[in-house]
Amino acid sequence: KLQAVLFDLDGVITDTAKYHFIAWKQMAERIGIEIDSEFNESLKGIERMQSLERILIHGHQEQKYSQAEKERLAQEKNEEYVALLANLTPEDTYPGINELLQELRENNIPTVIASASKNAPLILEALQLKSYFHGIVDPGGIPGKPEPDIFLKAAEQVGADPMCCIGIEDSQAGIEAIKAAGMYAVGIGEENILGPSGADIVYPSTRELALQRLLVAAHL
């Protein structure tokens, strides 16, 4: 029986994945590194400093900066990103998400945010969705995706057995994390990107998310 639904945030609840991309792209351009949307797939779900490391390796600049300079670069990206978040309103919640959250609430199924983002509380506040969630995992101090820790913590917060949880993700790293946690993985995006990472089912959009459909797919 389904015990909890664990939601990724960026790219599942709302389209903030696009703002991450814009902010990283601008920061990277300032230091002479080009990033395209294909490379960006490898950044999705990845924690801030790790994302920066990947960008520096991509641009063959991994030896160029001191730790302090890297922190400065990551901070600049975050300032840019947070500025873009100022535009967020409840209308930016992806289609189908409100309905699914409503259904889960009516059926007393706990929901937790399993995001790598330190900005998660700010975003949920802007979308006015905070009250729908039983918890938000603090990603600080635990291994990031694709390690299973964020999803395991999410299940633990509501006392759910990982085998009876569904995780919803838009990133390759996130799908891997859900599977490593022993959960049923729902991908939002392209089958040819998320399928190879281990998604049990992939929907092209959050519009397809409905409780009954998830229960049947996951055999829960």
Tokens 């059926």, residue? 107
Restricting to residues 78-107, which ones interact with ligand B16 according to CB under 6 A?
78
From 8-16, 64-72, 87-95, 204-212, give the range in contact with ligand B16 by CB under 6 A. 8-16
CB 111 within 8 A of CB 133: yes
- Map residue 10 onto helix, strand or coil: strand
Element (DSSP H or E) covering residue 53: helix 48-58
> Cα–Cα distance between 182 and 194 in angstroms, integer?
17
> Cα–Cα distance between 115 and 72 in angstroms, integer?
23
From the CB of 64, what's the least distance to ligand B16, in Å?
A: 21
Please, which residue, 47 or 170, has the CB nearer to Mg ion? 170
Q: Is 205 annotated as a binding residue?
A: no
Q: Is 8 part of the annotated catalytic residue set?
A: yes
Q: Is 161 annotated as a binding residue?
A: no
Restricting to residues 31-50, which ones interact with ligand B16 according to CB under 6 A?
43-48
From 10-18, 55-63, 84-92, 205-213, give the range in contact with ligand B16 by CB under 6 A. 10-18
Tokens of 166: 């569904």
Tokens 């949307």, residue? 37
Interacting residue ranges for Mg ion, rule: CB under 5 A: 8, 10-11, 45, 170-171
Q: Is 10 part of the annotated catalytic residue set?
A: yes
Under the binding rule (CB under 6 A), the answer on residue 179 touching ligand B16 is no
Please, which residue, 15 or 219, has the CB nearer to ligand B16? 15
In the chain, the DSSP E strands lie at 4-7, 111-113, 135-136, 165-169, 184-188, 201-203
> Which segments are annotated as binding site for Mg(2+)?
8, 10, 169-170
Q: Which residues are catalytic?
A: 8, 10
